[in-house]
Structure 1
Amino acid sequence: NLPDTVGFRLPHEIGEMIKVMSEYTKDRAIISVHNHNDLGLGVANSLEAVMNGARQIECTINGLGERAGNAALEEIVMALKTRKDVFGNLQTNINTKEIYPTSRLIANITGIEPQPNKAIVGKNAFAHESGIHQDGMLKNRETYEIITPADIGLDIDDTLVLGKHSGRAAFKDKLAKLGFDLDNEALNSSFERFKILADKKKDIYDDDLRAIVTNEMTKATQIYELVSLQLMDCSSGVPSAAVSIKKDNQEIIDASIGEGTIDAIFKTIDRISGYEGRLMDYKVTSVSKGKDALANVTVKVEFNDNEPAIIGHGLNIDTMLASARAYISALNSYLSMEGMLKLRHSSSTQTV
């Protein structure tokens, strides 16, 4: 493995290095590369390495990684597939139709959205705003589209597929088409979330379904569960929140004020739980389009200075409700982790 850990090398330098190593090792080793993207050359360096004998590339979905990230898997795979005139028979065994669904899965779990103009999986990757480009697309799509949305598993029309009258069988079938294979428990909980959303939201899109299922799949044990949220915030008053949370089938209600609405919500949850979290990061993204789009909130919270920050996710049309759910999600994850650590410590003590 030959890494460019700080992303310093240029393509021709990587190419020369790989060529020398390939000639030296001949068929005795598989040359692997690990390129970082500090100068925006992670993908270019990886492709140049392949051209000179490398046969393994370490890369990541959406180009995630330290600092500026790693070489993006989706860009490398589609470059090899699209430019066969250059790369010849070099190919991967990756099913490219899983690229977009996987990208969305990673984005929903991490809360890190690909930049809109990111190649292959960015929201603008297949958007054509320029008049001349739109005219060319209408006449011949191949003029301005070297890759089709279908190649990466994206339904560019993103049409309405399900509604509030859709049944469990139709829901299960649609999830299967999106690549989800859920057990009965996960399917039932996801279906319940879908029905609640369908009662509030007119149009349900594929990305809505992906977000619902991902949120259910990554949810920690429900130690605390949000019941209701009431807010008071006016320009002349102090932001306050009244939160009702269920624990062990017992409903607990409390209220608090804060510097802002989000602060008031989180402080109230702290008062109820007895755990004081420190918010390290807060992100909110729109899952799909429209005024009634789902808000996907991701929080990073520290509950203990000696332990890593915990990530929580929350989904709702109402951003404040999504925020409360995200914070409770982080709290539940922390308590689940704390419980497992105590169990391990207890087991090791008994063993000794």
Structure 2
Amino acid sequence: FLYQLLEAVIDAGAVTVNIADTVGYSTVNEFSSLIRGIMDNVPNIHKACVSVHCHDDLGLAVANSLEAVRLGVRQVECTINGIGERAGNAALEEIVMALKTRHDLFGLDTGVDTTQIYKTSRMVSELTGFVVQPNKAIVGANAFRHQSGIHQDGMVKESSTYEIMDPRTVGIPASSLVLGKLSGKHAFRERLAELGFALSEEALGHAFKAFKELADKKREITDRDLESLVSEELRMETQVYKLDHVDVSCGDHSLHSAAVRLIGPSGEVLADAALGTGPVDAVYKVINRIIGIPNTLVEFNINANTEGFDAIGEVLIRIESDGRMYTGRGASTDIVVASAKAYMNALNRLILAKQASGELQSIDIEGNRPGIREGA
């Protein structure tokens, strides 16, 4: 029946036919038989582009897609970082680099500028709030990391011994330039350029100031630290409310309190204080009292982007308001500050979304806000 259906739709004018494994159930052998059967039994299949759409419920989306390509499929539906429903879709970066690395087997080119893969992966992770697992192929933090002594020795003598791809081909800088408190703005700018970031002079100035502040706390600044700094700067460009100051008091036998100062939409200073079950809870209660937009915190995650006690902590949160989810991220060597930044990021996204939809016309700080307006 499938062969007859495909023949009929192609005769009717279809130029692309899509074969889907929507629930990710097929093994490679089964999917290979399906594609081979279509290629051999649909008389007019050469008149259409055959496409595949594979899900990763059994971890076989990329393998099934590549097998389909080997058998003549010329379109693959895939996503950056493999994001998608349930376990996700076939990962674009894995398919593209498999075709590029094993050109001897496939003999095909995608036309994708692979040097943009790493930067795009990070951008998607930033915008969606889905963290890339460290052992993720191609774009994970450990993808080109070698810990074994034998592996390290082999890498020094001949990198191709243990690396089937040059990190630079996916946009990861190969140099190991280490930045510190004595590094100047030129070196900072050059490293950001190598990482794929192009900032305006104003944004660069803010990011460099944050870099200097971080360098006073950390002896060495890694690429992941730089990515966190730049991401934080970019998040600040779309703020309605800005976090100006956070002060907390906490301990195992004391009351947990927080004082927060925000800069409002018109530059006004808003401040308040509150108690909570912990320092982060207290900070969030203060922010809620100042801004006054109902929401529910539904997810809270903390990750360290590098090793060591001085690592930057990245907080990822999700809040819900009127049935919609909003993601927020924040980064700092102080995890309470990072938590406050993440909450502000999520709330600002909520406010901007409501303003865009007309649900929220403007922010009226002259109204009955519980927060104390400084100078009043």
Q: TM-score, normalised by structure 2?
A: 0.82
Deviation, 1:279, is 0.8
The answer for the alignment partner of 2:90 in structure 1 is 71
In structure 1, list runs of 5 or more residues that go unmatched. 347-352
1:18 and 1:31 in contact (8 A); partners too: no
The equivalent of 2:331 in structure 1 is 315
Instruction: Map 1:64-143 to 2 at 5 A.
Output: 64-87=83-106, 89-143=107-161
User: 1:162: Cα distance to partner?
Assistant: 6.4
Matched, 1:166 2:212: no
SS in 1 for 2:274: strand
Please say if 1:332 is aligned against 2:351. Answer: no
Please state how far the C-alpha of 1:105 moved relative to its aligned partner. Answer: 2.5
Q: 2:241 aligns with which of 209, 224, 236?
A: 224
Residues in 1 aligned to 2:300 and 2:246: alpha-carbon distance in whole angstroms: 19
State which of 336, 341, 350 in structure 1 corresponds to 2:357: 341
Residue 54 of structure 1: CA displacement?
0.8
- Contact 2:52/2:68 (8 A) holds in 1: yes
Contact 1:220 1:336 in 2 (8 A): no
Given the superposition, is the C-alpha separation of residues 138 and 205 from structure 1 closer, same or farther in structure 2, using an over 3 Å criterion? closer
Q: Distance in 2 between matches of 1:179 and 1:156?
A: 13
Match for residue 14 of structure 1? 31
Counterpart residue type for residue 356 of structure 2: M
Tell me which residue corresponds to 1:349.
none
Evaluate the alpha carbon distance shift between residue 238 and residue 162 of structure 1 in structure 2; reply closer, same or farther with a 3 A threshold: closer
Query: Relative to structure 1, is the Cα distance of residues 164 and 5 closer, same or farther in structure 2, using a 3 angstrom cutoff?
Result: farther
Equivalent of 2:165, from 142, 147, 153? 147
Q: Which has the larger radius of gyration?
A: 2
Match of 1:2 in 2: 19
Task: State the shift of 1:207 in Å.
Answer: 2.4
Deviation at 1:185, TM superposition (A): 5.0
SS at match of 1:213: helix
Match runs of 1:180-259 below 5 Å: 180-219=197-236, 221-247=238-264, 248-259=266-277
How far did 1:253 drift?
2.0
Give the whole-Å Cα distance in 1 for the aligned partners of 2:143 and 2:200. Answer: 34
Q: In the alignment, which residue of structure 2 is the partner of 1:32? A: 51
How many equivalent residue pairs? 342
Query: Given the superposition, is the C-alpha separation of residues 110 and 198 from structure 1 closer, same or farther in structure 2, using an over 3 Å criterion?
Result: farther
Give the alignment partner of residue 282 of structure 2, picking from 244, 264, 274.
264
Structure 1 residues 183 and 132, CA, compared in 2 at 3 Å: closer, same or farther? closer
- Structure 2 Cα separation of the partners of residues 257 and 91 of structure 1: 59
TM normalised by structure 1 equals 0.87
* Aligned amino acid, residue 316 of structure 1: S
| In 2, Cα distance between equivalents of 1:35 and 1:134 | 36
* Contact map agreement 1:220 1:333 (CA 8 A) in 2: no
Structure 2 residue 64 is matched with structure 1 residue 45:
yes
Q: Is the 8 A contact 2:28 2:67 kept in 1?
A: yes
Question: What residue identity is the alignment partner of 2:96?
Answer: V
Give 1:166 deviation, angstroms. 1.8
CA shift digits 1:277-296 (9 cap, x unpaired): 21111122223344322222
Return the letter of the residue paired with 1:203: E
The aligned runs of 1:281-300 (5 Å cut-off) are: 281-300=299-318
After alignment, is 140-149 or 67-76 more displaced? 140-149
- Any gaps of 5 or more consecutive residues in structure 2? 1-17, 363-376
> What corresponds to 1:177 in structure 2?
194
* Partner SS, residue 202 of structure 1: coil
- C-alpha displacement at 1:308, in angstroms? 0.7
CA distance in 2 between counterparts of 1:171 and 1:133 reads: 31
Separation in structure 1 between the aligned mates of residue 274 and residue 361 of structure 2, nearest angstrom: 36
- How many percent identity over aligned positions? 45
Please state whether the residue corresponding to 2:81 is helix, strand or coil.
Answer: helix
CA contact (8 A) 2:99 2:108 kept: yes
- The aligned amino acid for 2:314 is N
Q: Which residue identity is paired with 2:258?
A: A
Secondary structure of the 2:271 match is strand
Distance apart, 1:188 and its partner CA: 4.5
SS in 2 for 1:332: helix
CA separation of 1:343 and 1:334: change in aligned 2, threshold 3 A: closer
Distance 2:208 2:195 in 1: 15
Give the CA RMSD over aligned residues. Answer: 2.6
Q: 113-122 vs 152-161, which deviates more?
A: 152-161
Q: Is this contact kept in 2: 1:18–1:49, CA < 8 A?
A: yes
Q: 1-side partners of 2:180 and 2:84: how far apart?
A: 36
Structure 1 residue 174: Cα displacement: 3.4
